[in-house]
Structure 1
Amino acid sequence: MYYLKKGFAIIVGSIFLAIGINLFLTPYEILDGGIIGLSLILHYLFRLKIGLMIIVLSIPIFILAWFKYKNYFFNSLHGLLISSVVIDMFKPLRFLIQMEPIFSAIIGGIFVGFGIGLMLRFETSTGGTDLLAQFISDKTSINVGFVIFIIDAIVVLLGGAFISTNTLLLSIVTIIAVGITTSFITRNSYT
């Protein structure tokens, strides 16, 4: 029964993530942090598929996971593959909703945070820089949350430099919304 719930969480989480990215972030060139943010930068600059870029950029991290964190590798592989496919499947929904960019940044952050948080509650994720942050934390004894924050800040600053100041400001709002929502969804112990 647990694996059925976990599979359901991956699918529902992936749908929320895809809606947040496609309906609310991409129309205004807004970023999230980590691998998703890097994939969005590549999409905005070169029109590459977001989900496909998430998979490609995650390969080195998953190779690291294979050797250092096998449990993470197996728990996140399904989340990575399903969420990436769903993100690219939901691409036609872009520009379906139009609103002020600041509201889009907040709502998109809530959707992305809910999707990520739901998957984390069932000990799965989309993979990405969380593992890299854990590896850095293990090697340096720096708090993993702080390492994730630094990685996300670097991604958003890159996006601001390569895309626009507006992207930078809206992305900061999105990352705050993602963080608050993810924390709210995961605040109780795992199911």
Structure 2
Amino acid sequence: MHTTHRWLSILEGCLLVALGIHILNSARLLISGTAGIGMILQSFTDLSFGQLFFILNLPFYFLALRYMGWSFAFRTFCSISLLSLLTELMHRYLHIEVEPLFAAVLGGMLIGFGLIILFRHNASLGGLNILAMYLERRFAIHPGKTTMLGDVLIIIVALTLFEFQQVSFSFIAFAVMSSVVGRYHKPPEWAKTPEMKAVSA
């Protein structure tokens, strides 16, 4: 029953994140982390977001295996694969039109709550979370600094490619997502061990 509950929760978390990303994509807005990089790269390739997101996370599996164990790496791989599939399905079958401000707030909230569910069930969507843990263990760099630097770099790159208003609304999505995770995420027991603290940071 515990295993069933965990995987149902991971599915629900991925659904929320996928819907949030789809809403942001529909308004041509960005989000932070690897997902944001995937959204930017869509401007330069014929690959879909789901395909780009899956490919971009491939290098991070080694770090997940090395520093967080097989169980976490497997759940993360499944979560990333599921999110990639769900975003593909939503892109094909769910067509919506939404104002940028509403998209930023709603999309950021959905992604934030989806991430909370994944974190609480010892899974993630890879990318900067895993990199932050590696840099903390290897070079004693605080995970918060890594994720903040990643977000700042995404904003800077976005400013060179997109209109200022579009980037401004994207920043609102960043802020809403961070606010939700910061206020509602309570690290579970597994996150209190030294090996897993960086994931919940």
Which residue in the other structure is 2:103 paired with? 104
Q: Does the 8 A contact of 1:6 with 1:122 survive in 2?
A: yes
- Written as runs of structure 1 = structure 2, the 5 A alignment for 1:41-56 is 41-56=40-55
For 2:37, the aligned partner's letter is L
* Corresponding residue number in structure 2 for 1:13: 13
CA–CA distance in 1 between the matches of 2:66 and 2:147?
21
Ranges in structure 2 where 5+ consecutive residues have no aligned partner: 191-201
* Count of aligned pairs between the two proteins: 189
* TM-score (norm. length: structure 2): 0.85
CA–CA distance in structure 2, aligned partners of residues 183 and 103 of structure 1:
21
Is the 2:16–2:114 contact (alpha carbons within 8 Å) kept by the matching residues of 1? Answer: yes
Which residue of structure 2 aligns with residue 3 of structure 1?
3
| Matched position secondary structure for 2:59 | helix
Instruction: Report the CA distance between 1:190 and its aligned residue.
Output: 5.3
**1:102 Cα offset (Å):** 1.5
Match of 2:126, SS state, is: coil
CA distance in structure 1 between the aligned counterparts of 2:44 and 2:98, rounded to whole angstroms: 22
Tell me whether 1:57 sits opposite 2:28 in the alignment: no
Same amino acid, percent of matched pairs? 20
Tell whether the 8 Å contact from 2:33 to 2:151 is kept in structure 1 after alignment.
Answer: yes
Taking only aligned residues, the RMSD between alpha carbons, in angstroms, comes to 1.9
Conserved? CA contact 2:34–2:57, under 8 Å = yes
TM-aligned CA distance change 1:14 to 1:90, over 3 Å: same
Is the Cα–Cα contact under 8 Å of residues 119 and 125 in structure 1 kept in the other structure?
yes
Structure 1 residue 116, shift from structure 2 partner = 1.2
SS in 1 for 2:58: helix
Cα distance, 1:68 vs structure 2 = 3.6
Post-superposition Cα deviations, 1:18-47, rounded to whole Å, max 9, x if no partner, equal 11111x211222111111001111124434
Q: Would you say the 8 A contact 1:40–1:50 is kept in 2?
A: yes
**Code of the aligned partner of 2:4:** L
Counterpart Cα distance in 1 of 2:8 and 2:31 = 24
Q: Residue 166 of structure 1: CA displacement? A: 2.1
1:65: how far off? 2.3
After TM superposition, list the pairs within 5 Å mapping 1:133-144 onto structure 2. 133-144=132-143
Q: Which residue of 2 is the match for residue 66 of structure 1?
A: 65
